[in-house]
Amino acid sequence: MHKILKVFFLVFLAVVVVSVLVEQWGAINLFLWGRPDSEDLAFNHTNLEERGPVVVSSDEQINMDVFNKVHKAVVNIVATTLTINYWQQITPQEGQGSGFIIDDKGYILTNNHVVAKAQKIIVTLGDDKKTRAKLIGRDSSTDLAVIKIPEHMVPSVAQLGNSDYARVGQKAIAIGNPFGLSHTLTTGIVSALDRELEDESGTMLTGLIQTDAAINPGNSGGPLLNSNGEVVGINTAIFSLSGGYQGIGFAIPINQAREVALQIITEGRYASPWLGISGIDLSEDLADALNLQVTEGILVVEVIEGSPADQSGLSGGTQEVTLDNMLIPVGGDIILSVNGQKVEGMKSLVREINRNKVGDGLDLEVIQGNEMNRVYVTLQEKPFD
């Protein structure tokens, strides 16, 4: 019995010693032989030339081509504002955003909220050169602004596309400076069109492009691009419960931004076109309930006194009826089309108005009473609230 215990103990001791040696073999080997030479390491003998070029998919190639084409025209914007702290002291505060160069004279398009109330604007270009920028003008109703850098510092100009050609499902590429990380590219698709969003100032932005390309704080004012590297929108806002990216971002269509930028540069401000009505989108249920002749269009409920609509003879509701516990003004005109384009609702009417400028005329097809009439309206500048 004593011999069996002795043998068992020796076997157990041997197992423990072997286990320790195996576990610590690396350290023991390093102690006995030192660190290996670089020639002894297999990964150091990889011949990169023999491996050939990396396979690039067509989608990856589009991303690279667009970035190489556009990134030099994208800038980082640091806007310094003056605020009053708790002790009534005036202190500078910095905010960051993005923008892109739209003209070789140095004009840069960005968001109004990026540069609003800025006392100083510093632009960082793609080669890390910094320069002071001048505010040319801004418009809070569209959340757009134009700033300018010296002409000789312009490295590249972004090519503006046609946002009317944007379609749901198309590729969307965003380049900007999220959290100050310069020239960051993210990709996604056009998720939806003609969205509405109320910004932080309470302004309702309409006709927006929705995308799932990652847009984070600092991306505001940067370009949203198509596969050709053309700007189709200006990244302006995100929908988020956390304050960060959650897959829903919005961009202002470039066609609208182009007209706003043109007026800001040439006139010093943007004159927003104005019709002067409020209305309700018609539907089959509403038309049946109100016993109307048509099921599509806009029921005009109010016409602002002195507005272009008022001057042209459009009429709003004359009495109120209760429908589904809501008071609805009825008896007003019904707008069916604008400039030959069928009107589906207030969104499409606002979009058509924004395609025009102050002084342009609208040709409206309208039901007035029991008659079908054509009404011509000349748009005026929207008065300040």
Among residues 107, 142, 139, 140, the alpha carbon closest in space to that of 123 is found at: 107
- Report whether pLDDT(169) > 80: yes
Three-state DSSP class for residue 11: helix
What percent of the chain shows pLDDT beyond 70?
A: 81
pLDDT band at 13 (very low <50, low <70, confident <90, very high): low
Do 286 and 360 fall into the same domain? yes
Same domain, 284 and 315: yes
- pLDDT for res 25: 61
Instruction: Give me the pLDDT at residue 48, please.
Output: 62
Q: Are residues 298 and 322 in the same domain?
A: yes
Q: Based on the domain organization, do 144 and 203 belong to the same domain?
A: no
Q: What per-residue confidence (pLDDT) applies to 39?
A: 76
For 22-71, what is each residue's pLDDT tens digit? Answer: 566 666 666 666 677 777 777 777 666 666 677 888 889 999 999 999 99
Between 137 and 27, the higher pLDDT residue: 137
Work out the average pLDDT over 347-353: 83
pLDDT in tens, 228-264: 999 999 998 765 555 555 668 899 999 999 999 999 9
Q: Could you tell me if 319 and 352 lie in one domain? A: yes
Token pair listed for 76: 């980082």
Q: Which of 246, 267, 288 is the last residue of a domain?
A: 267
Unique residue bearing structure tokens 């302004």: 203
Q: How many independent structural domains does the chain possess?
A: 3
Tell me whether residue 315 is one of the annotated catalytic residues.
no
Q: Which of 163, 220, 272, 348 is catalytic?
A: 220
Residues 367 and 306 in one domain: yes
Same domain, 345 and 372: yes
Catalytic annotation present for 199: no
At residue 171, the pLDDT reads: 94
pLDDT digits (tens, 9 = 90+) for 81-124: 766 555 555 555 567 889 999 999 999 999 988 888 888 888 88
Please answer whether residues 105 and 151 qualify as being in contact, where contact means their C-beta atoms are separated by less than 8 angstroms.
yes
When pLDDT is averaged across residues 181-187 and rounded to a whole number, the result is: 86
- What are the tens digits of pLDDT across the range 200-230? 666 778 889 999 888 877 788 899 999 999 9
CATH number, residue 188: 2.40.10.10
- Specify whether 369 is located in the same domain as 299: yes
Same domain, 278 and 260: no
Distance between CA 343 and CA 375 in Å, rounded? 14
Distance from the Cα of residue 70 to its chain's centroid: 17
Report in angstroms the alpha-carbon separations of 52 from 11, 57, 358.
55, 15, 60
Tell me, yes or no, whether 6 lies in a domain: no
Query: In 246-318, which ranges are continuous DSSP H helix?
Result: 254-267, 284-290, 308-311
Domain assignment present for 284: yes
Q: Identify the pLDDT of residue 205.
A: 83
pLDDT at 72: 92
Query: Nearest CA to 170 among 111, 233, 222?
Result: 233
Q: Measured in Å, how far apart are the chain's first and last C-alpha atoms? A: 104
If asked whether residues 312 and 377 sit together in one domain, one would say yes
The answer to which of 49-63, 130-144, 151-165 has the lowest mean pLDDT is 49-63
Last residue of a domain, one of 209, 232, 267: 267
- The per-residue pLDDT for 34 is 62
> How is 62-110 classified by DSSP, letter by letter?
HHHHHHHHHGGGEEEEEEEEEEE-TTS-EEEEEEEEEEEE-STT-EEEE
pLDDT at position 181, please?
77
Whether 45 is catalytic: no
Q: Can you tell me the mean pLDDT for 152-159?
A: 92
- In angstroms, the CA 227 to CA 281 distance is 35
pLDDT exceeds 90 at position 359: no
Instruction: Check residue 254 and give its pLDDT.
Output: 95
Residue 284: burial class (beta carbons within 10 Å; 0-12, 13-18, 19+): exposed
Q: Are 261 and 144 in contact (CB under 8 A)?
A: yes
The per-residue pLDDT for range 62-88, each reduced to its tens digit, is: 999 999 999 999 999 888 776 655 555
Residue 80: per-residue pLDDT: 79
Q: What is the CATH number of the domain that holds 376?
A: 2.30.42.10
Q: Is residue 4 part of a domain?
A: no
Cβ–Cβ under 8 Å, residues 336 and 348: no
Confidence (pLDDT) at 91:
54
- Going 185 to 191 to 196 to 197, the CA torsion angle's sign is negative
DSSP string, 43-70: GGG--HHHH-PPP--HHHHHHHHHHHHH
Residue 303 belongs to what domain range? 273-381
Q: What is the DSSP string of 186-237?
A: EEEEEEEEEEEEE-TTS-EEEEEEEE-S---TT-TT-EEE-TTS-EEEEEEE
Regarding whether 316 and 234 lie in a shared domain, the answer is: no
Structural domain includes residue 8 = no
What's residue 242's pLDDT? 52
Q: Is the pLDDT confidence value at 299 over 80?
A: yes
262 shares a domain with 168: yes
pLDDT at residue 243, rounded to an integer:
53
Of 71, 98, 113, 272, catalytic? 113
Percent of the chain with pLDDT over 90: 30
- Residue 82 is predicted with a pLDDT of 60
Could you say which of 98, 139, 143, 307 is catalytic?
143
Q: Which two tokens stand for residue 118?
A: 């800025």
Please tell me which of 177-186, 289-298, 355-364 the model is most confident about, judged by mean pLDDT: 355-364
**pTM, entire model:** 0.73
> Which of 267, 300, 330 finishes a domain?
267
